[in-house]
Amino acid sequence: MKAVVYNGPRQVSVSNVPDARIEKPTDAVVRMTTTNICGSDLHMYEGRTNFETGRVFGHENLGQVIEVGAGVDRIKKGDWVCLPFNIGCGFCENCERGLTGYCLTCNPGTAGAAYGFAGMGPFQGGQAEALRVPYADFNCLSLPKDAQEKEDDYVMLSDIFPTGWHSTELAGVLPGETVAVYGAGPVGLMAAHSAIIKGASRVFVVDMHDDRLKLAELLGAIPVDMRRCDPVEEILGQTDGLGTDRGCECVGYQCCDRHGREVNNFTMNSLVATTKATGGIGVIGVFLPQDPGASDALAKQGKMAFDFGALWSKGQRIATGEANVKAYNRRLRDLIHVGKAKPSCIISHRLGLDQAPDAYKHFDARDEGWTKVVLKPAA
């Protein structure tokens, strides 16, 4: 089968790889019809992780089941399913508590497994014609009759919509509250969408790209263009100097200051400054325990100069970590089904698998207009 294969820093190709197949009786094989390129694929694409050459990218996957193992009961051939990017077993201590992002058995020795992801187990990604899904009964989210009609919405249940939602859960967003979201990439936009669905009164979205800020506005948020203003002054100015009730970090370790320079504490210290005393901060952007490719000495060791004194004196809370997709994906699916959520509104490009190398180039360069790429391997 054809798949998007990593060949080294900034080099991917569409190559032939062994067919996805049933390896354990609890597996299913899903024919991929929509699979997205994610911002976290770029971390690996840029060669700043230990992602192995020859492996297949792709953790945001949707398709139709073409084969199930002898031990699969619930899922049937022909079902339309969306796969959470984190792979859970369903029976370990963390999966039992709903913390499927930190499964203890799928990638022994580490908490957490995912498709086509550095450090998250040996699983191939779904930017391919087909995908092997372990523990299919547990991991497949079944889609309703409008699965194909709303495929571009449902595929966002694999990662960015639950991940954006999770940042608002970590921050503790309640109806009527004000929220600041740092980063208007796909996850930041989904965090804004989620906060608005939850009834936030005002949602500020900080970024420095016109296309992304425009989408934030389209979703009902207040864009804060950090090229034109200091986001901290701007948000404090618009909240009587108090700041917002909640803040969401949706950028991660490669965040930049107003001049586009990578400064890994920029978003975190801005959040401490623009969140109210006793407010909550949810950190969903990826930070790494080591980042040898960073230019800053602290960042190389996964550390940052953090305004801890300000955090402490303001009595703020921080919660972090990847989304446990299964904790939210059913309910978010139903919001899409009835038309109360429309995550596909951020898609800029729908391309065939063959166009993936070019798409990676543009998305990696943050070229204007390349906000979210979905690949259609079956087209």
- Contact yes or no for 341/303 (Cβ under 8 A): no
* Comparison of 88 and 188: residue with beta carbon closer to Zn ion: 88
User: Which residue in the shown chain puts its C-beta closest to Zn ion?
Assistant: 38
Window of 33-41, 261-269, 277-285, 294-302 that interacts with Zn ion by CB under 5 A:
33-41
Nearest approach, Cβ of residue 129 and Zn ion (Å): 20
Contact between 251 and Zn ion per CB under 5 A: no
* Comparison of 5 and 373: residue with beta carbon closer to Zn ion: 373
Angle at 38 (CA atoms; ends 254, 367), nearest 5 degrees: 70
**Whole-angstrom distance, CA of residue 347 vs CA of residue 239:** 31
* Comparison of 165 and 204: residue with beta carbon closer to Zn ion: 165
The DSSP H or E segment spanning 353 is none
The structure tokens listed for 202 are 């005002």
Choosing from 38, 62, 190, 222, the residue that interacts with Zn ion (CB under 5 A) is 38
Nearest approach, Cβ of residue 275 and Zn ion (Å): 26
* Comparison of 43 and 276: residue with beta carbon closer to Zn ion: 43
Nearest approach, Cβ of residue 32 and Zn ion (Å): 15
Angle at 163 (CA atoms; ends 160, 165), nearest 5 degrees: 110
Nearest approach, Cβ of residue 101 and Zn ion (Å): 10
Nearest approach, Cβ of residue 87 and Zn ion (Å): 9
Window of 81-89, 140-148, 149-157, 244-252 that interacts with Zn ion by CB under 5 A:
81-89
The structure tokens listed for 298 are 């602290």
Nearest approach, Cβ of residue 41 and Zn ion (Å): 7
Q: CA torsion angle for 88, 55, 11, 2 (degrees, to 10)?
A: -100
- Contact yes or no for 85/60 (Cβ under 8 A): yes
Helices (H), 87-185: 93-96, 136-139, 151-154, 160-171
Query: Comparing C-alpha atoms, which of 176, 191, 202 is closest to residue 341?
Result: 191
- Contact yes or no for 168/192 (Cβ under 8 A): no
Contact between 250 and Zn ion per CB under 5 A: no
Angle at 192 (CA atoms; ends 189, 197), nearest 5 degrees: 125
Nearest approach, Cβ of residue 93 and Zn ion (Å): 8
Nearest approach, Cβ of residue 119 and Zn ion (Å): 14
Contact between 111 and Zn ion per CB under 5 A: no
Contact between 89 and Zn ion per CB under 5 A: yes
Nearest approach, Cβ of residue 316 and Zn ion (Å): 27
Choosing from 37, 56, 95, 180, the residue that interacts with Zn ion (CB under 5 A) is 95
* Comparison of 125 and 280: residue with beta carbon closer to Zn ion: 125
What per-residue string of b and e applies to 144-166 under the rule 16 or more CB within 10 Å gives b?
eeebeebbbbbbbbbbbbbbbbb
Window of 12-20, 52-60, 166-174, 210-218 that interacts with Zn ion by CB under 5 A:
52-60
* Total Cβ atoms within 10 A of residue 342: 15
**Whole-angstrom distance, CA of residue 6 vs CA of residue 9:** 8
Nearest approach, Cβ of residue 88 and Zn ion (Å): 5
- Contact yes or no for 285/183 (Cβ under 8 A): yes
Q: Which of residues 193-212 bind Zn ion (CB under 5 A)?
A: none
Contact between 229 and Zn ion per CB under 5 A: no
Q: Taking the chain, what is the end-to-end CA distance rounded to the nearest angstrom? A: 14
* Comparison of 44 and 103: residue with beta carbon closer to Zn ion: 103
**Whole-angstrom distance, CA of residue 29 vs CA of residue 132:** 5
- Contact yes or no for 160/285 (Cβ under 8 A): no
Window of 98-106, 270-278, 339-347, 354-362 that interacts with Zn ion by CB under 5 A:
98-106
* Comparison of 135 and 204: residue with beta carbon closer to Zn ion: 135
Choosing from 62, 72, 87, 103, the residue that interacts with Zn ion (CB under 5 A) is 103
Contact between 298 and Zn ion per CB under 5 A: no
Q: Which of residues 334-373 bind Zn ion (CB under 5 A)?
A: none
Residues that bind Zn ion (CB under 5 A): 38, 60, 88-89, 92, 95, 103, 159
